[in-house]
Amino acid sequence: MSILGTRVLRTEDPRFLTTGGVYVEDLVDERLDGACHVFFVRSPVAHARINGIDASAALEAPGVVAVFTGADLADLPTIPPSGPMNKSMQQPMLATDKVRYVGEPVAAVVVEHPYQGEDALELVAVDYDQLPAVLGFDPSDDTLLFEDAGSNVAGWWGNPADLKADLFDGCEVVVSETIVNQRVAPAPMESRGAAAAWGADGRLTAWIPNQGAQGTKGALARMLKLERDQVRVITPDVGGAFGAKFGADREHVVVAWVARELGRPVRWSETRYENLIGMTHGRAQLHTVTIGGSRDGDVQAYRLEIVQDAGAYVRAGGFLPMLTRLMTSGPYDIPRAESVAKVVVTSTTPIGAYRGAGRPEATAALERAIDLFAAEAGVDPAEVRRKNLLPKFTEPHRTAFGALYDTGDYVVGLDRALVAAGYAELRAEQAARRAHGDVRQLGIGLASYVEITGMGEGEGSGPNENATVEVHPDGTATILTGTSPHGQGHQTAWAMIASDELGIPVDKITLKWGDTDLIPTGGGTGGSRSLQLGGAAVRQASQELIEEARQRAAAQLEANAADLIYDKTRTSFNVAGDPDASVPLTELAEQERLLIRAVFTGPGATFPFGTHVAVVEVDTETGKPTLLRMITVDDAGVVLNPLLAEGQRHGGIGQGAAQAMVEEVVYDADGNPLTTSFADYPFVSATELPSFELVDSETPTTYNPLGAKGIGEAGSIGSTPAVQNAIVDAVAHLGVRHIDMPTTSRRIWQAIRAAQGQESEHA
């Protein structure tokens, strides 16, 4: 019987629950003996010229080793914007002529002991000539963040001149809305950090919590002007990432540079305040949706116009709109659809990847548009979805935006979610509450989605990943993987795959990752790629190891390799018809090292899909929303371990619901962040969430031998618009058409009063 598909408990957890993880602050390594500590002077203003920096007082303070400014790092390159954006919008390692957001690092103070750092920072005097803040999705060019650029528009995806004036001709119903997909903070439990030491050979070793050591190594090498083999990156345990720990940040580069400059090891760990203002934020898109069709609910045309607030520097914000445009039409068969995206810079924290990275934004826009259309046409939103979803397909389907969907059965996903929710009964209860004029009204929100996973490359062309499997003479095995776990359960999953092929028990298999000397190449973990690429590579390596062992066993037994049977229960090869003629794997491993490195390459990305149903209750007197139920179908192909898959779904659903209801990074009119601690930046906990109702669905992909698609981000893609739609639905009978996220009590209350003509403020 195969272990795959069973609920194997996470083998990682005993260590985390007993001795605990070893995070970057916990590192004990002789190479870090005598390390000093870096603290960053960060700008307190959103936009200003730097007239001068005086570090003389700080240099005289106890324990201060050195103070470095941007001028000291002039030999390091600047960071160019991502995507086809204006290349004059360069990011320095430390701000030199200007600061462009509150929290931008201006200087690095190095101290002997951590307790000396905060006091020393206060002694660095920076003379700022304050400039107007550049804010909003349509910032004026009166004040430029980058004078050489000539505009605060960094670039475009698509040409607005190509939008068709006649796109909605013939539509009986056309509705349009401008929707804010608000800025959020990834807020991982562990903030950013790093440690760096240089060897006598001039080689850098950097310990950085990250999502892919190999990509981080490449970024460090480029920014420090080193050859790749001069850098080693080691990944300690990572306390959460959500996309924001992919690659190397400029603070990591500065830490490594300082260690080289001083000739001694250096450490850095940021505070929660620094994390909320300095680590990249997510989302921050403005969507103008226009949707049209017939009065019976047939969607015939859809337009999505995107404005991406990239923040002060164009990092992931330069390519996220490309992914949003790619998924414009989602799971629907819309005859005429188009989209365009503009990227702007503002004096705010730069935008980076955040769970789903561009795909949740597309779904949020489309699913609000579907509900707006359904309301205008007077058709049940479930029926509009059923009528327009693509029919089942088992051969790849190409969309008008270039996405190649591998397999899908979207209507079945919708129907399973509706049945599990008791949709008809919920609508009946809603009607009864409305008829009685209850204070607490019921809302039912739907969201059908499809997303793209497994895009990243490890080495060569095409989506791929590598794995090495080795069997040891003592009967244990080791796996080296190019993926990088930070909570997903790779140790358990990869051991299950190897165990299924080799017969070695899961608890005798060790996983190693995140050390570029051990695993020089790899694509890391992001875009829900790990199982379908990294797991498939483990399977391939395990199978190839058995075939290599078969040849060795045949030579030892003087038998034909084709006559050998591998007995997984005994982990040995037997000659067919002669069970006494056998040789175990352990014996073969004693004679010569037994290991195989394999690279699995898939034909393309995969496209998980599903439908979420949210049930909320809204107090119409106070606006308070309560999430009562969350029913989800998340079809990610064949499930390797239901326990791990459910954990990923739980986390994603919770994060998505939090964006819909409470999370938002807020700035004032001068660009000062107002959400700089967990007292100001709320997120949901288990006490605010119901027990999720997870409905199973498996539509295998043919793109990998496991039949698996990605599951890590699906929950955050479907839940956000489902919850938002549910809240709007709860008060729609009162005349409310739309409420932007986060749908807080205040916004809901304002929307109700505005619809009733009691006040003019738009929610």
Q: What is the DSSP letter of 96?
A: S
> 682-715 burial string, b = 16+ CB within 10 Å, else e?
bbbeeeebeebebbebebbbebbebbbbbbbbbb
Which percentage of the chain shows pLDDT scores above 90? 96
Confidence of residue 712 (pLDDT cuts 50, 70, 90): very high
Mean pLDDT of the chain, nearest integer? 96
Strands 336-344 and 299-309, how do they pair?
parallel
Which percentage of the chain shows pLDDT scores above 70? 99
Q: Is pLDDT above 90 for 601?
A: yes
- The pLDDT, as a whole number, for residue 577 is 85
Q: Is pLDDT above 90 for 34?
A: yes
- The pLDDT, as a whole number, for residue 760 is 46
Residues 510-515, mean pLDDT to the nearest whole number: 98
Indicate the pTM of the whole model.
0.96
- The pLDDT, as a whole number, for residue 762 is 45
- The pLDDT, as a whole number, for residue 422 is 98
- The pLDDT, as a whole number, for residue 759 is 58
Q: Is pLDDT above 80 for 216?
A: yes
CATH topology identical between 26-132+187-278 and 464-601: no
Residues 751-758, mean pLDDT to the nearest whole number: 93
Domain 464-601 -> CATH class: alpha beta
The tens digit of pLDDT for each residue in 714-730 reads 999 999 999 999 999 99
- The pLDDT, as a whole number, for residue 456 is 67
- The pLDDT, as a whole number, for residue 455 is 87
The CA angle 667-669-677, to the nearest 5 degrees, is 25
Q: Is pLDDT above 80 for 500?
A: yes
Cβ proximity of 634 and 700 under 8 Å: no
Confidence of residue 758 (pLDDT cuts 50, 70, 90): confident
Alpha-carbon distance 680 to 121, whole Å? 24
* Residues whose CB falls within 8 Å of the CB of residue 215, separated by 6 or more in sequence, listed in order: 246, 247, 523, 524
DSSP E strands: which ranges in 241-370? Answer: 266-269, 282-293, 299-309, 336-344
Residues 490-497, mean pLDDT to the nearest whole number: 98
Confidence of residue 9 (pLDDT cuts 50, 70, 90): very high
Q: Is pLDDT above 80 for 761?
A: no
Confidence of residue 460 (pLDDT cuts 50, 70, 90): low
Q: Write down the CATH number for the domain with range 282-453+605-755.
A: 3.30.365.10
Confidence of residue 458 (pLDDT cuts 50, 70, 90): low
The tens digit of pLDDT for each residue in 58-111 reads 999 999 999 999 999 999 999 999 989 999 999 999 999 999 999 999 999 999
Q: Is pLDDT above 60 for 200?
A: yes
Domain ranges in the chain?
26-132+187-278, 282-453+605-755, 464-601
Residues 205-216, mean pLDDT to the nearest whole number: 97
- The pLDDT, as a whole number, for residue 97 is 96
Confidence of residue 459 (pLDDT cuts 50, 70, 90): low
Architecture of domain 26-132+187-278: Alpha-Beta Complex (3.90)
Q: Is pLDDT above 60 for 607?
A: yes
Residues 307-334, mean pLDDT to the nearest whole number: 97
